[in-house]
Every structure is written in structure tokens, then in C-alpha cells.
Amino acid sequence: MDSNSISNDPLILQNKIMSFQAVIALNDNYREVKTWYNQVRFWKKLNNVQDKEELFGWCKSKVTGIAAKALFNLIDEDEENITYPTLEEMVAAIKKAYRESDYITNPLFELKQMKIQKNENLKKFNKKFYELYDDLEPQEKLTVSYFDYANAIEAKEEAWKGVQLLDPTTDIKKAMEVAEKYENLALRLQARNITKSTKRNISLPMNNQRNFNINNNLASSEKKGKEPWTNSKNDNNGKAFNIQTCYFCSQTGHRKYECPQYNRYEYLKFQELVRNARNVNDNTTSYETTGSRSPLN
């Protein structure tokens, strides 16, 4: 660092050195440019560093590898004077150097290739997706729409359906909030169905015993040469056929999972959950706006 570009006051210099130790160092393996920029900007404001040459000297001491080459290329030198870059110009050059290097993937390309797994946490995926989006250049952000986000979460069926209902001009952050809301509703429905299934399974030991007794009766009937007992009727030709009975509507000819009334019941139940979730969010927002206490608390 050029000794002419820094203050001659020993106390001020000592404070600068001590506070600058908190700034992280950038290298080809550690590329947290955003963190580095925020720390340098805070240090610059704290120590009131206005001289570009002095700032450049401090910055280059915390940068090595590709980023260091990018900084030196910013120096504009002619016969009479030397022009040093601003902090923002240095950050832009470092980001560009990292992006063009062979060591990392282009953030825009990586963003377009992101796909959530079926069992992956949607909230964590959204955080990673938005961090990549936030690091893009302004012109690159214009090429990313909520359609890209919808394609990325296609494995989450309910969340994907919710995003498809949005207006095409919806921004990325709003689409993420809607996707998380529909995902939470789907998880609640799934938990409720598991609870019901668990309650039904409690009676399985008795059902198994009943089936065992029926099988024994059938076996004994066959040994005696009698017609085994079956839950069936005969058609006009004397052939036996099984009767399917729906346990939801008690009508014959179909089973519960094929029942139109049962499917409509499940659909209306899901719609009711959606409306309740929206009402809770609207009430919470109104109470936060008026400053009064929410009845949910």
C-alpha cells in the first residue's frame, strides 16, 4: 500500500488497520463478493475514506487470484496522471471476472436449470432460488419471469397449481409466497388423511381375525363338498359375480375412491381450507395495519 495515500496520523492509521481486519479476503475458492462489498463499504464510512487511491490500496490487500487481476485492469494510467476506480466499479469488475472464469457456473444459467425434488423443502429451495436471482445483473433479471419459477417447482404439484393461477406479471417474490401457502395447505391435508388412516388401521386386527375365520369356513365347506359362502349374486346364466359397494354413499356398482360424491366432498373440503387460510392472512394483515391485537394471539 502506498504510504503517501494514507493518513500520517498514527492513531487514525491504527484504527483503520484494526477495523480492516474484520473484512473478509476474496480468493478463487472463496467468492462472497456481496459480503466483502458490504464490509468494505461499512469500513469506508466508519473511517471516512474518500481518496480513491487509498481505498484501492486497502481493497487490493484483501483480494487475490482472478479478482486481483480484475482490479489492476481498472487502473487508467496515462502520461500525466493515474485514475483509480470507485468501490462499486471494483465490485462490478470482480463479479464479471468470476462469472467469466472457468471455476464457476453462470448464475443465470444455474437459475434456469434449478429443479426442486419432490421431497425437498420448498422454503429452503425458494431462499436459494431468490439469492441467485438477487445476484443477477439488472439486464439479466429482465430475462427471468415467474414462468421460470413455476417450471422449477413443478415437482411440488399443489404449489405449482397455485402459481399457475397468478397473473403473468406477478413478480418472483409474490409467486414464492403463494407457492408456500399452497404447499402448507397440501401438507395439512396430507397430515389429516394420515390421521384418519391411522384410526382405521386400529380395527385391522379384528378384521384379520374375521377374514381368518371366513377362510377356515370356506376350506371346511370345500372338504365337505358344499358350495363355499361368497358375497355374490348369480346372473341369468347362473354365474356368480361380486357386488361392489361404496362405503361413502352406500350405493352399489362402484367403490369409495371411484365415488363422484366422495371426490366432490374432498374437493370442497380443500377449497374450505384455502378460504380459511386466506381469511386468517387477511385478518392478521388488518390487525397489523391498525396496530390492535390479533384475536389469534
Kindly give the confidence (pLDDT) of every residue in the chain, 297 residues in length, as a single tens digit, with 9 standing for 90 and above.
444 444 557 888 888 999 999 999 998 888 899 999 999 999 999 999 999 999 999 999 999 988 898 999 998 887 778 899 999 999 999 988 888 775 455 678 788 889 999 889 999 999 999 988 988 888 888 888 888 899 999 999 888 988 888 887 888 889 999 999 999 988 888 887 777 666 565 555 555 555 555 455 544 544 444 444 344 455 555 555 566 778 777 787 787 778 888 777 787 877 777 777 776 556 555 544 555 444 444
How deeply is 112 buried, as exposed, middle or buried, from its count of CB atoms within 10 A (0-12, 13-18, 19+)? middle
pTM above 0.75, yes or no: no
Q: Determine contact, residues 99/127, Cβ cutoff 8 Å.
A: no
C-alpha to C-alpha distance for 12 and 19, rounded to whole angstroms: 11
Minimal CA–CA distance to 156: which of 190, 188, 121, 191?
A: 121
